[in-house]
Amino acid sequence: MNMHLLRSLPWLLAAAFAGCAAPPPLPPQAALTPPAAFRAAAPEAPRLEAAWWQVFEDPLLSRLVARALDGNVGLQAAAARVAQARALADGSRAPARPQAELNAGANRQGGPLVNAAGANGTLITTSAALAWEIDLSGRLAQAASAATLDAESRESLLAAARLTVQAEVAQTYFALRSLDLERGLAESSLHAQRDGLQIAEQRVASGSLAAAELARWQADVAGAEADLHAIERRRAEAEHALALLLGEPASSFTLDAAAWAPRAPAVPAGIPSEVLARRADIAAAAQSLAAAEARAGEARSAWWPRLLLTMAGGQASPDLGTLLQSAARAWGVGLVASLPLLDGGRRDAEARRADADVLAARAAHRQQVLVALKEVEDQLAALRTLGREAGLRTQAVAAAERASALQASRHAQGLASRIDLLKAQRHEGELRRQSLQVQSQQVQATVGLIRALGGGWAAPAATTAQAVQADS
């Protein structure tokens, strides 16, 4: 028998080493090098604080953001997913720790088979068992690491969701405030056009004005009324959207109109691309990539043998009084090594699947970095063009104000009609509405830039360009 074992030993060792021959890991991915700085052209600005919305100096906005962070349903669901991932991470560390259990029982037995093997009656047993898998290949450690990285990714996604909610609250609030101002301008324009229509009707009745001019005034009044209704509808939709962000019923939420002056903070020139490293969604993608790589290592470690140390002890007796006597005791210590030789290709398939997961995670991480770069450049371009447009709109409003003032002077001197003055004022009101819309877009684009940069443009001191590279 011993000779047979010795002869079989080389084959067993060969099988063991063959089982340990896992496929090689994937080659590293080429790094994605971000630009040194984004394309921005603006004067220097102060660093934003963590509560970035305070830079707009609006106390009501700060209160709304606080309510949203506390009541937003999406954030509550994301927080619950973080708790789930943390619980899974805690459970993933359990297999690497010793496992122990204690059992006790009482069995009533009888019959001819029992009588042949022992006495019939009641058998009382107690036992304790201890098992510990020795992690030779690091498989258990890699599984626990992957679960921990999953939890960290969920936490990063929660941080990204918080920033998204903050930005959406600010943008919706600013849109609503802009609509309030626009509604006031639209009401003034409608009032002036109704005055002009009334004068036109009187002049047509007296024969001093053509009917075609009256029709134009009627069309302008109807169009102004339609614009006012459209503004009311958009305001109601913005108010309902804000209620949803706060986690409150839209039917009971109201936000009264208040004075508001659109003002966007200046964006510093040459924002370093390193600020993207703090974007929570990029961090989540990097953590998911690291988790996928850990699972790929876990899949490869399946080729290694598993070693399990076991200890057990117990007592059995037909009488409770003799249960603790030494004659009723039994114990055992074992060391079990297992290495599956044939599994139908299951381990190889698991390794290929894990490698595919790594490739998908690499692509997702790279895509997230590219999306982040695009979002920042989009907002910077929007702010750059909106700044130029705002300057021209301001010049147009100033010119329209001068034209209205001149027409008012001419009307006072009897050199211009009331209708001419109303036309000049109507044109001025339209230009004011256009200028207001551009200013509102500037404020919202600034919020969009803050969101794209992960909460502002002040780069953390310890951040490096490598943090946003798509290294494996």
Q: Which pLDDT value is given to residue 320?
A: 58
Q: Which pLDDT value is given to residue 250?
A: 93
Single-letter amino acid, residue 118: G
Bridge partners, residue 121, by sequence: 109
Q: Is the dihedral of CA 397, 401, 402, 407 positive or negative?
A: positive
Sheet holding 329-338, edge to edge: 99-109, 121-134, 306-317, 329-338
Q: Mean pLDDT throughout 395-422?
A: 90
Q: Mean pLDDT throughout 434-448?
A: 93
Q: Which pLDDT value is given to residue 278?
A: 76
Give percent above pLDDT 90 in the chain. Answer: 40
CATH code 3.40.50.300 for 25-468 = no
SS (H, E, C) 107-160: EEECCHHHHHHCCCEEEEEEEEEEEEEECCCCHHHHHHHHHHHHHHHHHHHHHH
Helix pair 73-92, 139-206: axis angle to 10 deg: 170
Q: Which pLDDT value is given to residue 165?
A: 96
The 10 Å Cβ neighbour count of residue 157 is 21
pLDDT at 167 over 90: yes
Q: What angle do CA 78, 79, 81 make, to 5 degrees?
A: 65
Q: pLDDT tens digit string along 74-133?
A: 999 999 999 999 998 888 888 888 888 888 777 766 666 555 545 566 767 777 888 887
Q: pLDDT tens digit string along 222-253?
A: 999 999 999 999 999 999 999 999 999 999 99
Contact status, residue 291 vs residue 85, Cβ threshold 8 Å: no
Bridge partners, residue 133, by sequence: 308
CA 363 to chain centre: 18
Token duo for residue 266: 């200046």
**Hey, where are the domains in the chain?**
25-468
* Range among 63-77, 260-274, 319-333 with highest mean pLDDT value: 63-77
| CA 194 – CA 223 distance, rounded (Å) | 11
Token duo for residue 416: 């211009």
Distances (CA, A) of 278 to 51, 374, 450, 464: 15, 16, 12, 10
Q: Mean pLDDT throughout 280-301?
A: 90
pLDDT range class, residue 301, cuts 50, 70, 90 = confident
Max intra-chain CA distance, the chain: 132
Residue found by looking up tokens 């970095």 in the block:
369
Contact status, residue 92 vs residue 148, Cβ threshold 8 Å: yes
Q: Which pLDDT value is given to residue 299?
A: 86
